[in-house]
Homo-oligomer: A and B are copies of this chain.
Amino acid sequence: MPVAEIGRVAEFVGGEVTIRGWLYNKRSSGKLLFLLVRDGTGVIQALVSLADAGEEAFAAAAALSQEASLEITGAVREDRRAPGGFELTVHSLRPIGPSEEYPIGPKEHGTEFLMDHRHLWLRSSRQHAILRVRHEVIRAIRDFFNDRGFMNIDSPILTPAACEGTSTLFETDYFGEKAYLTQSGQLYNEAAAMAFGKVYCFGPTFRAEKSKTRRHLTEFWMVEPEMAFADLDDAMELAEGLTVFIVERVLERRRADLALLERDLTRLEAVRPPFPRISYTDAVERLKAAGHPFEWGGDFGAPDETVLAEQFDRPFFVHRFPAAVKAFYMKRDSQDGRLALGADLLAPEGYGEIIGGGQREDDLATLERCIEEHALPRSAFEWYLDLRRYGSVPHSGFGMGLERTVAWVCGIEHVRETIPFPRLLNRITP
């Protein structure tokens, strides 16, 4: 008997097939049992009758409880009314592993309870949908860069120095030396871009921030491209292209998952180029005009971003921030020395910043001064300064937060559901 995944059961219509999976749900109607069986690739309705399955199998089916594992063999037919569109008339059934008092039922559970049972919660249809979208976003990101000649250069996780301040770093002992978990692969990316031209890293990054918001994880994945011979406009163009590519890919391949999440597709279909590009100074004016008090010179917080986002139907760039609120490596604007050539991409619908980046300082003397002004330990950055000593070139790049992007694409409230095992201020289990 052929064994098939539920996702491929259409190939067996009119024939017999064996399916292995877990009981998702069960109901009875007179002398019939309707089993809803899932195997990770889909869900199928299995019809168990005394006549077709025999006494033993019928009794075994009747005894199955939620999330018990089983193997069933039967005849496949199309049935548009059935969940998934197919039905299996069971001829034989073999229970595999029991499941007594499965803790997650159809009733409402609190978030902490579900998070404590994350290893089981992953089996629910909503979590399936979100993590399938995540899978597709990851694939889209890698396809986008690989197909455009970017080299995947993995940056290190264990680093000797802080990239953007030390207060939010996880520290570990490295055979007697202090080491920190990376917050960004950017500095290493810059070295790699001088070697390979166009590169990206894509891995976990860490922030020991005491933030408890719906946008913060202490461990999250970030993709960071970096390009030699590229300026701020090139970085924005790349960021726009990537974002459009991701949304198109998910709309093309994960419509069923978006439907399950009740995502408003018109909002995603509006994600078309070109994205609006407004300067920081213009953004401040817009905030003031909207009656939202904001002083030129500060960094935007989530409420500010939300007010701005209400003015656009798609993601938009804010560029040329006050240099004082940005990282030491950002290049100054030659038109206005107060400004840094950075850009953030803000998602609509209040999802906030999903991309941050810009052009990097490529002048040795200026960068040396910036390191001094930011009171950073010069010796830790000597290798980074080397990139300006030996064939410095204009270069740009950005980082896109995977989980924030997935949360926006899915239209869900909190980033904690967008990663298989979230790490939060108060949570490192399971």
Q: Residues on A close to B: CB < 8 A?
A: 5, 7, 20-23, 39-41, 67-69, 96-100, 102, 117, 119-120, 122-123, 127-128, 131-132, 134-135, 138-139, 142, 146, 149, 151-160, 170-175, 177, 179, 181, 188, 191-198, 203-204, 206, 208, 210, 218-219, 221, 228-229, 362, 383-384, 386-393, 419-421, 423, 425-426, 428-430
Q: How far is the CA of A127 from the CA of B128 in the complex (A)?
A: 41
Q: A142-B142, A203-B203 are contacts. A389–B423 as well, Cβ < 8 Å?
A: no
Pairwise interchain contact B149-A5, C-beta atoms closer than 8 A = yes
Q: How far is the CA of A57 from the CA of B199 in the complex (A)?
A: 31
Q: How far is the CA of A208 from the CA of B177 in the complex (A)?
A: 13
Pairwise interchain contact A170-B160, C-beta atoms closer than 8 A = no
A229 partner residues in chain B, CB cutoff 8 A: 20
A173 partner residues in chain B, CB cutoff 8 A: 170-171
Q: How far is the CA of A100 from the CA of B175 in the complex (A)?
A: 36
Pairwise interchain contact A196-B40, C-beta atoms closer than 8 A = yes
A121 CB → nearest B CB, Å: 9
A171 partner residues in chain B, CB cutoff 8 A: 172-173
Q: How far is the CA of A20 from the CA of B40 in the complex (A)?
A: 49
A100 partner residues in chain B, CB cutoff 8 A: 389
Nearest residue (CB) in B for A394 is B96
Which of B139, B174, B196 contacts A152, CB < 8 Å?
A: B139
A225 CB → nearest B CB, Å: 13
Pairwise interchain contact A198-B122, C-beta atoms closer than 8 A = no
Nearest residue (CB) in B for A429 is B160
Pairwise interchain contact B119-A155, C-beta atoms closer than 8 A = no
Of A97, A123, A419, which is in contact with the most chain B CB atoms at under 10 Å from its CB?
A97
A373 CB → nearest B CB, Å: 22
Which of B68, B119, B142, B149 contacts A386, CB < 8 Å?
A: B119
Q: How far is the CA of A11 from the CA of B307 in the complex (A)?
A: 48
Q: How far is the CA of A393 from the CA of B98 in the complex (A)?
A: 10
A40 partner residues in chain B, CB cutoff 8 A: 151, 193, 195-198, 228
A181 partner residues in chain B, CB cutoff 8 A: 157, 172, 181
A145 CB → nearest B CB, Å: 10
Pairwise interchain contact B22-A156, C-beta atoms closer than 8 A = no
Nearest residue (CB) in B for A426 is B175
Pairwise interchain contact B393-A96, C-beta atoms closer than 8 A = yes
A430 partner residues in chain B, CB cutoff 8 A: 191, 383-384
Q: A170-B172, A420-B155, A428-B159 are contacts. A388–B97 as well, Cβ < 8 Å?
A: yes
Task: Please name 6 pairs of A and B residues whose Cβ atoms are closer than 8 Å in the assembled complex, sorted by A.
Answer: A154-B204, A156-B423, A157-B219, A158-B218, A179-B428, A383-B429
Q: How far is the CA of A109 from the CA of B311 in the complex (A)?
A: 58
Which of B23, B131, B159 contacts A151, CB < 8 Å?
A: B131
